[in-house]
Amino acid sequence: MVTVYANRATIGLNVLHDRNPLHVVMSDGSVRNAYTIRILNKSDRPRRLDLALAEGLKATLSANGESLRDSAALSFDVDADQTFEARVFLTAPQADVSGRSTPVVFRLIAKDPTDVEVTETRDFFDAP
């Protein structure tokens, strides 16, 4: 039991695609999807965790008015033994996603002085 506890992941990520509406077509023609994310910090200290997209879909990730492109990440401060919930938006050019569901991978990264921990979860980006 001690071995399992010592080797458990200290971060977690759950992503829930908002279903109403599935997507929104913006005035510039791009398509936006909304997601509710829940970040889990299972460690005994506060942590700064970065949310980014894995390679694949070329899209803009945004939350709380902060917008990022390419490989940039959104940063969230999560207290010890707490969960943090936020709504994030993913916006992609319609030409890249038109008429299909595109797989998207969200990556949560914890950078500590001693090590780097990464967890991923998959969902879909819906387009008209």
CA distance linking residue 18 with residue 35, whole number of Å:
5
Q: Per residue in 77-117, pLDDT tens?
A: 999 999 999 999 999 988 888 777 888 899 999 887 666 78
* Helical (H) or strand (E) element with 14: strand 11-17
Q: Using one digit for the tens of pLDDT, what is the confidence trace for 57-86?
A: 788 888 876 665 555 788 899 999 999 999
* pTM of the predicted structure, to 2 decimals: 0.84
In CATH, which superfamily holds the domain spanning 2-120? Immunoglobulins (2.60.40.10)
Q: State the pLDDT confidence band at 33, using cuts at 50, 70 and 90.
A: very high
The answer to whether the beta carbons of residues 26 and 34 sit under 8 Å apart is: no
Instruction: Map tokens 């940063």 to a residue.
Output: 75
Report the C-alpha dihedral over residues 36, 19, 70, 52, rounded to 10 degrees: 30
Sequence ranges of the domains in the chain: 2-120
- Give pLDDT, residue 110: 87
pLDDT at 55 over 80: no
